[in-house]
Amino acid sequence: MAENLFCYFSLLCAALVVAAAAAADQPLPDQPAMEALQKELSATLWKPSSGSSYCSWRGVTCNSTSGSVERIALPRLGLSGNISGVSRLKSLRLLDLSSNYFQGAVPPSLGELPALEYLDLSANNFQGSIPPSLGAIGSLRTLNLSSNSLTGEIPGELKNLLQLEELQISDNRLVGSLPGWIGSLVNLRVLSAYENRLAGSIPDSLGSVSQLRSLNLHSNLLQGPIPGSVFASGRLEVLVLTANRLGGTIPESIGNCSGLSSVRIGNNRLVGTIPSSIGNASGLAYFEADNNWLSGEIPPAFARCLNLTLLNLASNRLSGLVPPELGELRNLQELIASNNSLAGEIPKPLLRCRNLSKLDLSNNRLNGSLPRDLCGASRLQFLLLDRNSIGGAIPPEIGNCARLLELQLGGNRLTGSIPPEIGRIKNLQVALNLSFNSLRGPLPRELGRLDKLVTLDVSNNQLSGSMPPEIKGMLSLITVNFSNNQLSGPVPIFAPFQKSPPSSFSGNKLLCGEPLSSACEGYLGSDGDVVDRRKTSYKVILAVVGSGLTVFVTVSVIVVLFVLREREEMNAKAAAGGAAAVIPSPVIVAGNVFVDSMKQAIDFDSVVRATFRDSNKLASGTFSTVYKAVMPSGVVLYVKRLKSVDKTVVHYQNKMIRELERLGSLCHANLMRPIGYVIYEDVALLLHHHMPNGTLAQFLHETPPDESRPDWPTRLDIAVGVAEGLAFLHQVATIHLDISTSNIFLDAQLNALIGEVEISKLLDPSKGTASISAVAGSFGYIPPEYAYTMQVTAPGNVYSFGVVLLEILTTRLPVDEVFGEGVDLVKWVHSASGRNESPEQIMDARLSTVSFAWRKQMLATLKIAMLCTDRTPAKRPKMKKVVEMLIEVKQN
Ligand SMILES: *[C@@H]1O[C@H](CO)[C@@H](O)[C@H](O)[C@H]1NC(C)=O
Ligand SMILES: *[C@@H]1O[C@H](CO)[C@@H](O)[C@H](O)[C@H]1NC(C)=O
Ligand SMILES: *[C@@H]1O[C@H](CO)[C@@H](O)[C@H](O)[C@H]1NC(C)=O
Ligand SMILES: *[C@@H]1O[C@H](CO)[C@@H](O)[C@H](O)[C@H]1NC(C)=O
Ligand SMILES: *[C@@H]1O[C@H](CO)[C@@H](O)[C@H](O)[C@H]1NC(C)=O
Ligand SMILES: *[C@@H]1O[C@H](CO)[C@@H](O)[C@H](O)[C@H]1NC(C)=O
Ligand SMILES: *[C@@H]1O[C@H](CO)[C@@H](O)[C@H](O)[C@H]1NC(C)=O
Ligand SMILES: *[C@@H]1O[C@H](CO)[C@@H](O)[C@H](O)[C@H]1NC(C)=O
Ligand SMILES: *[C@@H]1O[C@H](CO)[C@@H](O)[C@H](O)[C@H]1NC(C)=O
């Protein structure tokens, strides 16, 4: 884990004074260079009092004998400035400036560092090409330039980096080809150049890089074959070539690599058969080769890769049978082979893979019938067999598929009726699709038990009879399709039905009532009770509230800072003044920018004017309204206009300014601290960096489903970040008043920053800056004890953090009617074992089924979340402990 990044100005000062005293007697060799560098780095982190030893500066490590600087490690600190002066530190061995805001060219002068072994400039905004001079650093072993905006080709001079072990240049805009001389970097273990615009072919010379463990070149424009030589040494462990234009066949020599654990070569133009030597790559855990032109049969030799967890061969031209031998893969979690030409029956041995959670054989030519013991032994969650030629009846044993989340059987030749046992698949929630078959008989009443199901499609069958009223038990339904059957009688009055388009019910001659245009004469009144979704949600909320949070609703949240005019008033003024340009700028009472490098870039008048425009409004929270403000310099800011309802406290302004300035120097990588403020008339605006990735709430809940979801490692990093930020706040005796995913912001590198810290600080009654009746936080995050204590405490913060963790684990909202009446996310999770639900059914299955490692980490994190959300405040761990536990999860 990275060193603890926080600093607290006063602590830092103290440390510096001590260090200065110790070092006062002898001059240090790098003093001028370090002082020059300190002036460049636009950060509050190095504020040396004169004469202090740079060896005690944050992130700096010196040689204990000579006093020269050997390491500078300053990742994730929001730094910018010109670092070319670093080249004066001739003893430097490690330079880590990753995840900052450096821009411009990578300084060519870095090539003048004769002892440099580790250079990490990743995740900045460096532009231009990779300086050829870096090739002169003969001692370099790790070079990481990934996640910048570098252009041009990989300079040939880098071929002199004969000691290089790790080369990471991914996520840039590099062009040209991968040079053949890479083969001369014989010590290279890791080569990552993914997400660039590299063209040409993968050089055959990689075969000489006998130490290569990881080759990741995905998302480029690479052509030509996968050279067999990359497997020659037998040491390759990870091969990721997804999303290129690679052709040719998968080399036979892949079997050389017994340690190969991950092969991802999907989205290319690979042809030919999958070599059966794959069985010799016995350590294989992931094999993903979807969206290619692979043909022939699935080699039964895969069965020798006993660690195989995921096998994705979808969208190829594979034919033949699904080898029954795959049933020996006890660790297999996902078998995805849809969109091929696979034939024969569903291989029964496969259903014995106890860990199998996803079986996707849709759009093939499978025939035969559905095996009776479909879910006999496995933990199937996704069973996708649609668009095949499967005949026979749906076996009643389908009711044993207790863990199933999605069942796709559409487009087959199924006959018989829908077995009532289907109502026993209580967990079915994603979809039940039986469309385009030859099913007959009535809709079973038991369908009504599927109260989590969102999508139901039974269209295009020969189902008959009336629609049973019990069907209204399907409380979560959103999309339905009953069309083209022989159903009769009235469509039950049920909001999801009436909200559907008529086409969902059309093609049933004898069906009547809304949303169909044919009215039901003679039927009316037989179905009187109206279940309205709005009513349901209202009931749910009331019940949740009634269960201990009533107070939240009845307590008016009164935030008192100083007088603020109503926004409407402001708008009226703006309107009266005509266009924004004509508004006379208000007299600014006070304003300051804490970050030196930004002083020039921020114009207070522009800040104020930005808040006059509604189109700049980004969000409106409990305590503030947030605007986006674009400065004339091009810098984009978040401007927070504080809300207030009391008009008597104007005289607190000075205290407030002092508090703000203090907050500006309070720094921790996971706190979003103000970079300045503007006070005019009686309005206070707080300035923040623009957060391009929005809030954690948006990140978790608003990512379009088609886009890649935030993955588990990213989520865990975010959780750790939030925990660290909160632990730091508690350490400096600050209670956050409103922990929620809407108050956690994500910077360009997806680091989590806790927002609204200043609100918590400014509103702290003990500070005398404000008086508040009650501040409760956000709905769903409020600890149960708040109902009677009316106080937000440190354990209360831990509870709210636990809710955030649960949200990260489940991708569910903290309050949602799908949990049922009176149940919020916390209750839903805590009562899972009572409902006989496994953790799998709680955690986001799209993450937990990706790998054992992820699942294990998620389970461990779930345990922590359960502790944090314990009803009894005293039983919840301290934030410091939570950080330790989460870091342990991450390291395992
Ligand atoms: C300190 O520097 C000297 C040479 O200047 C070198 O010999 C020694 O190994 C260094 N010490 C450490 C701990 O790296
Ligand atoms: C940084 O400073 C050096 C010399 O002081 C100069 O040559 C270089 O152009 C500067 N780089 C940037 C990005 O401003
Ligand atoms: C940069 O790459 C090196 C070498 O692969 C790696 O150890 C380091 O963690 C990377 N840095 C970041 C910020 O990912
Ligand atoms: C690796 O594969 C190549 C080509 O298939 C073969 O010549 C070589 O002997 C293999 N090496 C090992 C260690 O198996
Ligand atoms: C697989 O390994 C065995 C023994 O290690 C070897 O005899 C065989 O030739 C290999 N098969 C392939 C296809 O590489
Ligand atoms: C399978 O995975 C386990 C655990 O990661 C590992 O110890 C074992 O060596 C792997 N098996 C093979 C054949 O690589
Ligand atoms: C399923 O996977 C787990 C690891 O998550 C493993 O411990 C277990 O042995 C596997 N189940 C079977 C039946 O092999
Ligand atoms: C199979 O093809 C369909 C339609 O082209 C596509 O939507 C689906 O994602 C494919 N399945 C897989 C697993 O790639
Ligand atoms: C199922 O498919 C296999 C392979 O194509 C074929 O041999 C067999 O006759 C088919 N069975 C039925 C019942 O159609």
* Average pLDDT score over residue span 654-680: 75
Residues in the chain, how many? 892
* Average pLDDT score over residue span 668-690: 82
Domain 694-892 grouped into CATH 1.10.10.10: no
* Residue-level pLDDT at 647: 35
* Residue-level pLDDT at 584: 54
190 lines ligand 3 (CB under 6 A): yes
Q: Which ligand is nearest to the CA of 306?
A: 6
586-690 architecture in CATH? Answer: 2-Layer Sandwich (3.30)
Whether residue 44 is predicted with pLDDT greater than 70 in this model: the reply is: no
How many angstroms separate the CA atoms of 74 and 539, rounded? 52
Classify 400-521 by CATH class.
Answer: alpha beta
- Structure token digits, residue 479: 């999309």
| Pocket lining for ligand 5, CB < 6 angstroms | 255, 277, 280
236, 254, 256, best to mutate for ligand 4 pocket (most atoms within 8 Å of CB)? 256
* Residue-level pLDDT at 476: 75
Residues of the chain with CATH 3.80.10.10: 1-161, 400-521
* Residue-level pLDDT at 595: 78
CA of 363 to the centre of ligand 8 (A): 8
* Residue-level pLDDT at 366: 97
| Least confident range of 134-138, 205-209, 277-281, 740-744 | 740-744
Whether residue 110 is predicted with pLDDT greater than 70 in this model: the reply is: yes
367, 370, 388, 415, best to mutate for ligand 9 pocket (most atoms within 8 Å of CB)? 367
Q: Which ligand is nearest to the CA of 87?
A: 2
Ligand 9 atom closest to 345 (CA): 1
Residue that wins the pLDDT comparison between 231 and 689: 231
Q: pLDDT tens, 153-176? A: 999 999 999 999 999 999 899 999
| Pocket lining for ligand 7, CB < 6 angstroms | 330-331, 354-355, 852
pLDDT band at 43 (very low <50, low <70, confident <90, very high): low
Ligand 6 atom closest to 284 (CA): 14
Enzyme catalytic residues:
738
CA of 450 to the centre of ligand 8 (A): 27
Ligand 6 atom closest to 282 (CA): 13
Q: pLDDT tens, 499-514? A: 889 999 999 999 999 8
259 lines ligand 4 (CB under 6 A): no
Among 420-429, 650-659, 680-689, top mean pLDDT goes to 420-429
Whether residue 440 is predicted with pLDDT greater than 90 in this model: the reply is: yes
* Residue-level pLDDT at 322: 95
* Residue-level pLDDT at 553: 23
Q: Which ligand is nearest to the CA of 190?
A: 3
How many angstroms separate the CA atoms of 610 and 605, rounded? 9
| Least confident range of 266-275, 363-372, 410-419, 471-480 | 471-480
Per-position b or e across 694-715, b if 16+ CB within 10 A of its CB = ebbbebbeeeeeeeebbebeeb
* Residue-level pLDDT at 51: 55
Whether residue 188 is predicted with pLDDT greater than 60 in this model: the reply is: yes
| Least confident range of 36-40, 691-695, 754-758 | 754-758
* Average pLDDT score over residue span 554-561: 23
* Residue-level pLDDT at 96: 96
Q: Which residues, in sequence order, are CB contacts of 64 under 8 Å at separation 6+?
A: none
Q: pLDDT tens, 800-840? A: 999 999 999 999 999 887 887 778 899 999 998 888 888 87
pLDDT band at 226 (very low <50, low <70, confident <90, very high): very high
Count of Cβ atoms closer than 10 Å to residue 305 Cβ: 24
166 lines ligand 3 (CB under 6 A): yes
Residue nearest to atom 3 of ligand 9 (CA): 344
Classify 542 as helix, strand or coil.
helix
136 lines ligand 9 (CB under 6 A): no
Strands 455-457 and 479-481: what pairing? parallel
Burial environment of residue 639 by CB neighbours within 10 A (0 to 12, 13 to 18, 19 or more): buried
Q: Which ligand is nearest to the CA of 259?
A: 6
Residue nearest to atom 3 of ligand 2 (CA): 84
Superfamily of domain 1-161: Ribonuclease Inhibitor (3.80.10.10)
Residue nearest to atom 5 of ligand 8 (CA): 339
Residues of the chain with CATH 1.10.510.10: 694-892
211 lines ligand 1 (CB under 6 A): no
Residue nearest to atom 1 of ligand 3 (CA): 144
290 lines ligand 8 (CB under 6 A): yes
Ligand 2 atom closest to 85 (CA): 5
Residues of the chain with CATH 3.30.200.20: 586-690
C-alpha separations of 156 from 87, 241, 468, 876 in Å: 22, 23, 74, 57
Residue nearest to atom 1 of ligand 6 (CA): 307
CA of 186 to the centre of ligand 4 (A): 18
* Residue-level pLDDT at 685: 85
CA of 355 to the centre of ligand 7 (A): 6
CA of 300 to the centre of ligand 5 (A): 15
Average pLDDT over the chain, rounded to an integer? 82
Ligand 9 atom closest to 367 (CA): 1
Burial environment of residue 374 by CB neighbours within 10 A (0 to 12, 13 to 18, 19 or more): buried
122 lines ligand 3 (CB under 6 A): yes
Ligand 9 atom closest to 389 (CA): 14
What pTM value is reported for the model? 0.65
* Average pLDDT score over residue span 655-663: 67
Which DSSP symbol is given to 281? -
Nearest to residue 54, comparing CAs of 585, 876, 39?
39
pLDDT band at 6 (very low <50, low <70, confident <90, very high): very low
Burial environment of residue 687 by CB neighbours within 10 A (0 to 12, 13 to 18, 19 or more): buried
- Structure token digits, residue 211: 């130490």
| Least confident range of 93-102, 406-415, 678-687 | 678-687
CA of 212 to the centre of ligand 5 (A): 21
* Average pLDDT score over residue span 733-745: 83
82, 103, 112, best to mutate for ligand 2 pocket (most atoms within 8 Å of CB)? 82
Q: Which ligand is nearest to the CA of 330?
A: 7
